[in-house]
């Protein structure tokens, strides 16, 4: 069984443990990093490419407080950067600092990601956070849940069988989850067609392939004779793929599609989806920035990462938010530039002072 090394390499590199900063600590350190790179206080206009979710308000307030300027709106839903606003952004300041982040909710009571308490709703209920990522993920998750419950495994007289729903056998649909049948079903003998052992009302029964038997043995799957057992969590990304029509304007959908088999099978699908979105969006946005003539001859820092929103309690105006840096692009007005990867970026931020002497007194500023 060939592992999808591209999926593992992209997702496996994103670290959260020991790479997380409280948001005010992060903003203070990042501000001083901008100063260290030659930017001048009062001449920096920050920009944020955040989701439109209300949980992103606290980070925006902190950016305003530390940089002394309300950030330019560079974002679309899902933490996507609006690339068409690049030129307009350059007109607003001498030095440029861009924040781009996907976000994911975190429920400290359950220890799971993806949900967030909406205090402004009638009953302060928990709902998805981010809603855009959740809406993209929902279709894939439904398809996967159907497949793993309707693909059955059984051993009878020491022979291994797999029962597959007719919908999952049909390979001609434009949308759906598609099993990699050559990896699951025992191949026919030369000159013969692949025929089922039994035909049921809504499914067909085949002999399981030696490849599948070995694959499940490595993962300690237990075959039983008493009943046909659903694949369940053992239906891994190596065994299926998705086809799904995505609208051109659905940037999050395009970012996530290729990696959905890994995302839906992870322990925390919403967290995994947010991680992928950060990585893909940084790569795309970085390439737009380095090719944009309006950015030439400017001091610019573009930092991307993940905002983790802790569900607020009753009476708490803002949620606690943490930041996980992913990567950073630094460009100086003399044309020199570099990309800093996650480990080095985290260490670089820690090396900067968290104290910002220019932090604005928001009450005084608003009073004026």
Question: Residue 202 pLDDT > 50, yes or no?
Answer: yes
pLDDT at 11: 60
Q: Are 137 and 143 in contact (CB under 8 A)?
A: no
Total Cβ atoms within 10 A of residue 361: 10
Q: Are 306 and 104 in contact (CB under 8 A)?
A: yes
Residue 140 zone, left/alpha/beta (φ > 0; ψ -120 to 50; rest): alpha
pLDDT at 360: 82
Chain-centre distance for alpha carbon 322: 16
pLDDT at 119: 74
Q: What is the mean pLDDT of residues 175-186?
A: 94
Q: What is the mean pLDDT of residues 84-105?
A: 95
Total Cβ atoms within 10 A of residue 183: 15
pLDDT at 128: 80
Distance CA 359, CA 63 (A): 10
Q: What percent of the chain has pLDDT over 70?
A: 97
Q: Is the peptide bond before 130 cis (omega within 30 degrees of 0)?
A: yes
Q: What is the mean pLDDT of residues 278-299?
A: 96
Q: Are 163 and 228 in contact (CB under 8 A)?
A: yes
Q: How far apart are the first and last CA of the chain?
A: 67
pLDDT at 366: 74
pLDDT at 1: 31
Using alpha carbons, select from 353, 335, 344 the residue that is nearest to residue 303.
344
**The residue to which tokens 């759906």 are assigned:** 176
Lowest mean pLDDT among 51-55, 72-76, 268-272: 51-55
Chain-centre distance for alpha carbon 127: 18
């Amino acid at each position: 069984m060939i592992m999808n090394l591209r999926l593992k390499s992209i997702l496996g590199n994103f670290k959260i443990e020991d790479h997380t900063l409280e948001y005010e600590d992060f903003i203070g350190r990042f501000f001083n990093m901008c100063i260290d790179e030659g930017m001048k206080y009062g001449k920096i206009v920050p920009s944020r490419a955040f989701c439109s979710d209300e949980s992103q308000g606290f980070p925006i307030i902190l950016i305003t407080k530390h940089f002394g300027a309300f950030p330019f709106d560079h974002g679309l839903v899902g933490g996507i950067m609006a690339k068409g606003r690049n030129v307009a952004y350059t007109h607003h300041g001498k030095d440029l600092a861009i924040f781009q982040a996907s976000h994911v909710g975190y429920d400290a009571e359950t220890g799971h990601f993806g949900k967030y308490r909406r205090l402004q709703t009638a009953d302060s209920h928990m709902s998805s956070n981010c809603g855009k990522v959740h809406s993209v993920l929902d279709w894939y998750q439904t398809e996967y849940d159907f497949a793993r419950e309707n693909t059955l495994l059984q051993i009878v007289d020491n022979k291994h069988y797999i029962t597959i729903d007719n919908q999952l056998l049909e390979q001609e649909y434009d949308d759906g989850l598609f099993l990699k049948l050559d990896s699951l079903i025992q191949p026919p003998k030369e000159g013969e067609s692949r025929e089922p052992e039994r035909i049921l009302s809504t499914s067909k029964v085949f002999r399981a392939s030696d490849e599948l038997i070995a694959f499940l043995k490595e993962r300690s799957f237990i075959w039983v004779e008493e009943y046909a057992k659903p694949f369940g969590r053992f239906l891994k990304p190596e065994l299926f793929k998705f086809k799904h029509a995505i609208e051109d304007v659905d940037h999050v959908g395009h970012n996530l599609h290729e990696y959905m088999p890994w995302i839906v099978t992870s322990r925390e699908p919403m967290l995994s989806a947010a991680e992928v979105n950060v990585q893909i969006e940084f790569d795309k946005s970085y390439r737009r920035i380095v090719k944009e003539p309006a950015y030439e001859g400017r001091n610019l820092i573009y930092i991307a990462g993940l905002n983790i929103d802790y569900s607020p309690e009753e009476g708490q105006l803002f949620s606690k938010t943490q930041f996980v840096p992913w990567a950073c692009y630094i460009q100086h007005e003399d044309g020199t530039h570099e990309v800093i990867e996650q480990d080095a970026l985290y260490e670089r931020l820690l090396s900067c002072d968290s104290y910002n002497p220019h932090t604005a007194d928001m009450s005084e500023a608003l009073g004026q």
